[in-house]
Amino acid sequence: MKPLGPIPAGFSAVDGVLAVGGRPVTQWVDQAPDTPLFLYSADLVRSRIAALRAAMPDGLDIHYAVKANPFAPLLKLMSGLVDGFDIASGGELRAMLGAGVSGPQISFAGPGKRDTELEAAIVHGVTLNLESEGEAARALAIGNRLGLAPRLAIRVNPDFDLKGSGMKMGGGAKPFGIDAERVPALVRTILGSGAEWRGFHIFAGSQALDATAIAETQGQALDLAARLAQESGAPLPHCNLGGGLGIPYFASDTPVDIAEVGVRLSERFAALPDILAETRFCMELGRYLVGESGVYITRILDRKVSHGETFLVTDGGLHHQLAASGNFGTVVRRNYPVAIATRFDAPVEEEASIVGCLCTPLDKLAEKAGFPRAEVGDLVAVFCAGAYGASASPAAFLGQGPAFEMLVGEGIVTSERRRPKSGLFRS
């Protein structure tokens, strides 16, 4: 039997059924047009952010990296909980403006920004995290043409990476950011251009669970920011220290010790060099804020045995949960936390593999793991589905279409109307 990942804290059974936002998932499923369904718990997002703020030094801003989950009702919830938003496309800018967030609360990173995206960002007062000298020149030219001073920061390609991170985004040759040694010259160009100088964005990696490695990377980012500010000859208004806090997906993973990260960062903040004395710092986090708040619910359509192995075939799959299938940046496929939602407190009775409805062997939600015996009609829950689920999976594959999404919790039930999968067959 292969192990399953750890079910995140905050989930329990009500009458034997997994509850999200205080109600059994069967009730949410009844309100949705169909399964599969993403459920995001507003309460878990709120408590996660409150715990993070309590652990981090005063004055550290928390930004939400929108690409983790751009579901509109979630963005509205986040707008009351975080200090800023980091986006990576014009589409995400549209989503933020639609959620009522104003440009000055937003920064825009990402290689390959179109002129139309730069223009929209400049018009709305969004900070551009510049990814190259060429992009800086285009932004300045657009600002000149519009008669507006663009708000410009530089994304630095640091000369270090986040150890143990699932995705390395710094160190060596990278499409992201500007190599550290070329940064001071560009800062001076920006300072002399009449643009508004906003500071540095230093992002070294993602999905790290080791507090010591995270703290070391933050320390290196602070050292680098100080050195580059000194060499540029100007104090730093703002510095985005990156993020990188991960969540446990697999059996051997343990949660990040945020208390340790907070203590180590407080120590560094207490001893900042003069050039950083007036700097405003933030961390930008995606999955850490929302990943564990989300559950993907899919229904078992078939139960079959092949060569002695039991397969539970669901109406969901990798088209909504690419990461859980093991096809989103993992080398070895391991099981996410997965459970039979309608038998949530039942003991393990059999070994089964839970697969999706797509005609490809890649479409596995859980492989050879222990579950209570489940039947056709039972609901399966895939946890850690609040980030990089709906928006990072190929929903159009095999003509399946997107899953329904709901943000649920105390006094809150919001969903976006989407054409349900079976809409075609209803009159």
User: Minimum CB separation from ligand PLP for residue 322, in Å?
Assistant: 15
Minimum distance between the CB of residue 349 and ligand PLP, rounded to whole angstroms? 36
- Pick the closer one to ligand PLP by CB: 103 or 286: 286
Q: Which residues pair with 296 in a beta bridge?
A: 38, 382
Q: Pick from 251, 348, 371: which is nearest to 300 by CA?
A: 371
Smallest separation, CB 28 to ligand PLP (Å):
25
Contact 256, 246 (CB under 8 A): yes
Residue 17 amino acid letter? V
Least distance in Å: CB of 183 to ligand PLP?
A: 16
Asked if residues 162 and 244 have their Cβ atoms less than 8 Å apart, the reply is yes
Which residue has the CB atom at the shortest distance from ligand PLP? 286
Positive or negative, the Cα torsion across 97, 103, 104, 107?
positive
Residue 120 CA to residue 114 CA, distance in Å, equals: 10
Taking the complex as a whole, how short is the minimal distance between the CB of residue 295 and ligand PLP, in angstroms?
Answer: 18
Residues whose CB falls within 8 Å of the CB of residue 29, separated by 6 or more in sequence, listed in order: 35, 37, 297, 379
State in angstroms the smallest separation of the CB of 243 from ligand PLP: 4
Binding site for ligand PLP (CB under 6 A): 65, 67-68, 86, 109, 203, 206-207, 243, 284-288, 387
Which residue, 65 or 380, has its beta carbon nearer to ligand PLP?
Answer: 65
Query: How would you label 303-315 residue by residue, b for 16+ Cβ within 10 Å and e otherwise?
Result: beeeeeebebbbb
Quick count: other Cβ atoms within 10 Å of Cβ 267? 12
User: Based on CB atoms, which residue is closest to ligand PLP, 107 or 342?
Assistant: 107
Beta bridge partners, 129, equal: 153
* Residue placing its CB nearer to ligand PLP in the complex, 214 or 379: 214
Which 3 state secondary structure label does DSSP give 14?
strand
Other C-beta atoms within 10 Å of 275: how many? 18
CA-atom Rg of the chain in angstroms: 23
Q: Based on CB atoms, which residue is closest to ligand PLP, 241 or 339? A: 241
The minimum distance between CB 180 and ligand PLP, in angstroms, equals: 16
Taking alpha carbons only, the member of 368, 406, 380 closest to residue 301 is 380
Length of the chain: 427
CB of 127 to ligand PLP, least distance (A): 13
> Which DSSP state fits 31?
H
261 or 387: whose CB is closer to ligand PLP?
387
User: Of 140 and 245, which CB lies nearer to ligand PLP in the complex structure?
Assistant: 245
Q: Closest distance between ligand PLP and the C-beta of residue 86, in Å?
A: 6
Separation CA 361–CA 321 (nearest Å): 14
Q: What CA–CA distance (Å, rounded) separates 410 from 67?
A: 25
Q: How far is CA 323 from the centre of its chain?
A: 12
The least distance separating ligand PLP from the CB of residue 82, rounded to whole angstroms, comes to: 13
Of 39 and 109, the one with the shorter C-beta distance to ligand PLP is: 109
DSSP string of 318-342, one letter each residue: TTT-TTTTT-SS-SS--PPPEEEGG
For ligand PLP, the closer of residues 18 and 214 by Cβ is 214
Nearer to ligand PLP, 287 or 319 (CB): 287
For residues 3-13, one letter each, b for 16 or more C-beta atoms within 10 angstroms of the residue's C-beta and e for the rest, the string is: ebbbbbeebeb
